């Protein structure tokens, strides 16, 4: 592997050590001080006590999304093919606004901890809740956890020369520490700190990179000339930049990212991620009220406009400065440069950091990468634990106490790490070595159908459980078949004929995502109209038209199924409805030193009752969350309109 300058100077190491101390200190301080009174409760651990202000919510939304896979993968995609993939970032402005203005009010109205729990309250029954919980955990492993671990370990390997799996072990040890102890509150506040560090570091590298290459015009000129000095095959365009590299909207048939498919997939196709995914939505549910959730979404939307300037352009600059490495196409050369035969675009950002940054700043950029890695991992850990504990474990252990749920949620993190590590070899070789393309392709196959069922569940009262289940099943059958073919028939090199099945060679994955969305929606409509509609009383609080701040009703007389049995809408599904006898029989705990030590490590107060039940989210709490000050509501609406206008201008400018 080609030798790069590493992180070896004492000044760089000092910066990195200070960073680690600061992050761990913030995580422990938040846990032990601000949230100490409720640190042993489910609502505090999984929803941060529902007391977060807008700025940490917005910062956490951003940093939970912007992980090492963006610094490595998005910069790598920019180096390989240009700026088109930035549309996924910019369309996020519209989607986070949709989250806060449309989705969050309904989720809060339903009084849920998790998104699969919402499906259970909306339709009743168990299968959708279990299906979505298992699917979400699989998605976290194959598109979030494995990718974040791989991208982060790649950077650490380049910077420190550590073995890949030793780097992974170090990452998991530190991130798991304060996630397990602190819960969502610690995650959100450390995310806010990491957002500040990421932004400062990325700005510094961007400025130095543009200064090195001579400005934007020189970037355009030198990027278009950035071809390896010894091309793999002189008869084809191997290693040459795309003519449309600085444009978003590309040829709808022959390009690498056809604009109709890219636009649809980056908006409707990823709606599930921004509006229906536990990692993202959990931050908004932790806000003090709806106004703080909206303000946080606007902040996150503005921050999502920056990746073009702080990630993609630096990746393109890296190719312009080091074309032999970043633009390599000869498998033997690529193996020599970056130990991956399919291409070295993923090392574009790390190489820029290690080659251009002076002592001290190199350590700061190392901290930036670590910030991105850790913010993603902690968010995934906490949300995965929430899903498994609240949606799956309570189905296995229907009599589980709150203490048991807290312990299980912490232990599940360890299992997630092990499975993700096993998936890493597939991540390294998929989608021609372009990490960001891999993420979007797999999410399109498995995630896109989820957005269809959630938006219809919220807006279409006629939709029922059979329509939702069979629609989701139809979309996923299509997606799984396509994903299996993708792994079975890797994309050919630029000098090779494309002999893959027509479904791969002729149908771009963005077009396939749109087809999957259409199949899911059509199946939902057909099955819903062909089967019995739900009673009106069953829809109380779970749709846009029947949420608690709009419909005044005696809730004690309304019974809504939450997937366990018929309960009042006041209830959060779980052990709250069990009798005292059920509670006494729930979990038998052996008292002793080991038991007390385990509680202390897990952050569970020693004096917490053995049979403490999961706290319900009352209707009065839901209405208080949704109540908005008219003045601030107007200000937020104006800011949302401004944000969307700025985004539309940028898309038009770089079309």
Cβ–Cβ < 8 Å for 261, 84: no
**Residues belonging to the chain:** 655
175-188 pLDDT, tens digit each: 666 555 555 566 67
Q: What is the pLDDT of residues 534-556, one digit of tens each?
A: 998 899 999 999 999 776 554 44
**pLDDT tens string 95-119:** 999 999 999 999 999 988 888 889 9
Distance of alpha carbon 193 from alpha carbon 187, whole angstroms:
10
pLDDT tens column, 314-329: 999 999 999 988 988 8
pLDDT of residue 505: 85
Which residues does 150 contact at the CB level (< 8 Å), separation at least 6? 424, 427, 428, 435
Higher pLDDT, 429 or 494: 494
Answer whether residue 607 shows pLDDT above 60. no
Q: Provide the token pair at 92.
A: 């996020």
Cα–Cα dist 468/455, whole Å: 11
- Domains of the chain and CATH, by start: 10-653 (1.20.1730.10)
> How confident is the model at residue 609, as a pLDDT?
41
Q: Which residues fall within 8 angstroms of residue 651, CB to CB, at 6 or more apart?
A: 87, 90, 248
Q: With contact defined as beta carbons under 8 Å apart, do 343 and 433 qualify?
A: yes
CA atoms of 457 and 468, how far apart (whole Å): 8
Averaged over 213-230, what is the pLDDT?
91
Higher pLDDT, 401 or 252: 252
CA distance 44 to 133: 21
DSSP 48: G
532 has pLDDT over 90: yes
Instruction: Tell me how far apart the alpha carbons of residues 523 and 468 are, in angstroms, rounded to a whole number.
Output: 8
| 8 A C-beta contact, residue 63 and residue 372 | yes
- SS3 state at 337: helix
Q: What Å distances lie between residue 333 and 79, 231, 353, 497, 634, CA to CA?
A: 17, 10, 22, 21, 58
Q: Which of 420, 92, 493 is nearest to 271 (CA)?
A: 92
Reported confidence tier of residue 475, pLDDT bands at 50, 70, 90: very high
Q: What is the mean pLDDT of the chain?
A: 79
Contact in structure between 548 and 623 (CB atoms under 8 Å): yes
The predicted pLDDT at position 394 comes to: 78
pLDDT tens, position by position, 420-430: 666 666 555 44
Least confident stretch, 54-68, 273-287, 302-316, 380-394? 380-394
pLDDT digits (tens, 9 = 90+) for 286-313: 888 999 999 999 999 999 999 999 999 9
State how far the Cα of 315 lies from the Cα of 338, in Å rounded to an integer.
16
Pick 167 or 182 by higher pLDDT. Answer: 167
Query: 505 with 75: CB under 8 angstroms?
Result: no
pLDDT above 60 (res 590):
no
Sign of the Cα torsion 172, 133, 548, 559 reads negative
Q: Lowest mean pLDDT: which of 263-267, 377-381, 483-487?
A: 377-381
Separation CA 255–CA 249 (nearest Å):
10
Q: Give the count of alpha carbons within 13 A of 161, CB side only.
A: 8
pLDDT attached to residue 230: 66
Cα–Cα dist 74/60, whole Å? 19
Q: Model confidence at 434, in pLDDT bands (50, 70, 90)?
A: low
Query: Residue 587's CB: how many other CB atoms inside 10 A?
Result: 15
Q: Give me the residues paired with residue 567 across strands.
A: 560
């Amino acid at each position: 592997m080609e030798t790069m300058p590493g992180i070896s100077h004492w000044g760089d190491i000092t910066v990195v050590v200070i960073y680690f101390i600061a992050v761990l200190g913030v995580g422990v301080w938040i846990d032990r001080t601000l949230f100490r009174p409720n640190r042993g409760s489910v609502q505090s651990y999984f929803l941060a006590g529902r007391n977060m202000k807008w700025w940490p919510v917005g910062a956490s939304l951003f940093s939970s999304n912007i992980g090492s896979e963006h610094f490595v993968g998005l910069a790598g995609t920019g180096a390989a093919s240009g700026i088109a993939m930035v549309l996924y970032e910019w369309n996020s402005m519209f989607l986070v606004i949709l989250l806060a203005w449309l989705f969050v009010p309904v989720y809060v109205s339903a009084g849920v901890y998790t998104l699969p729990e919402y499906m259970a309250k909306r339709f009743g029954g168990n299968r959708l809740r279990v299906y979505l919980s298992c699917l979400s955990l699989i998605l976290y492993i194959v598109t979030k956890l494995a990718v974040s671990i791989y991208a982060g370990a790649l950077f650490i390997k380049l910077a420190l020369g550590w073995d890949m799996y030793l780097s992974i072990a170090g990452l998991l040890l530190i991130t798991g520490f304060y996630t397990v102890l602190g819960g969502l509150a610690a995650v959100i506040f450390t995310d806010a700190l990491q957002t500040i560090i990421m932004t400062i570091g990325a700005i510094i590298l961007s400025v130095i990179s543009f200064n090195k290459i001579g400005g934007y015009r020189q970037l355009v000129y030198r990027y278009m000339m950035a071809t390896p000095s010894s091309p793999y095959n002189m008869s084809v365009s191997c290693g040459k930049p795309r003519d449309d590299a600085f444009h978003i909207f590309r040829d709808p048939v022959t390009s690498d990212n056809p604009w109709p498919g890219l636009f649809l997939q980056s908006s409707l196709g990823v709606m599930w991620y921004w509006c229906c995914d536990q990692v993202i939505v959990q931050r908004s549910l932790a806000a003090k009220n709806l106004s703080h959730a909206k303000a946080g979404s606007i902040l996150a939307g503005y921050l999502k406009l920056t990746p073009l300037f702080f990630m993609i352009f630096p990746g393109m600059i890296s190719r312009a400065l080091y074309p032999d490495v970043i633009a390599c196409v000869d498998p033997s050369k690529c193996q020599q440069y970056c130990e991956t035969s399919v291409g070295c675009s993923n090392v574009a950002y790390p190489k820029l950091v290690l080659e251009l940054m002076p002592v001290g700043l190199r350590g700061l950029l190392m901290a930036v990468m670590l910030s991105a890695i850790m913010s993603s991992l902690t968010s995934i850990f906490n949300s995965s634990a929430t899903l498994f504990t609240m949606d799956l474990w309570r189905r296995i252990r229907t009599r589980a106490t709150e203490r048991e749920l807290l312990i299980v949620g912490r232990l599940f993190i360890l299992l997630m790490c092990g499975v993700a590590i096993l998936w890493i070899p597939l991540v390294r070789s998929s989608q021609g070595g372009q990490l960001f393309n891999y993420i979007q392709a797999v999410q399109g196959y498995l995630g896109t159908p989820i957005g269809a069922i959630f938006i219809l569940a919220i807006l279409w009262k006629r939709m029922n459980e059979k329509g939702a289940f069979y629609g989701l099943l139809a979309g996923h059958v299509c997606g799984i078949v396509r994903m299996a073919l993708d792994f079975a028939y890797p994309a050919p090199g630029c000098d090779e004929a494309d002999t893959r099945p027509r479904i791969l060679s002729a149908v771009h994955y963005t077009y396939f995502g749109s087809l999957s969305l259409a199949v899911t929606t059509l199946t939902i409509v057909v099955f819903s109209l062909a089967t019995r509609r739900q009673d009106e009383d069953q829809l109380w609080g779970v749709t846009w038209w029947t949420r608690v701040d709009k419909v005044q009703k005696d809730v004690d007389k309304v019974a809504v199924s939450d997937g366990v049995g018929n309960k009042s809408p006041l209830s959060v599904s779980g052990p709250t409805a069990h009798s005292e006898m059920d509670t006494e029989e729930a979990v038998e705990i052996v008292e002793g030193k080991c038991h007390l030590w385990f509680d202390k490590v897990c952050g569970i107060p020693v004096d917490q009752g053995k049979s403490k039940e999961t706290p319900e989210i009352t209707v009065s709490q839901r209405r208080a969350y949704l109540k908005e000050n008219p003045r601030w509501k107007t200000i937020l609406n104006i800011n949302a309109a401004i944000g969307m206008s700025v985004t539309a201008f940028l898309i038009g400018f770089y079309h």
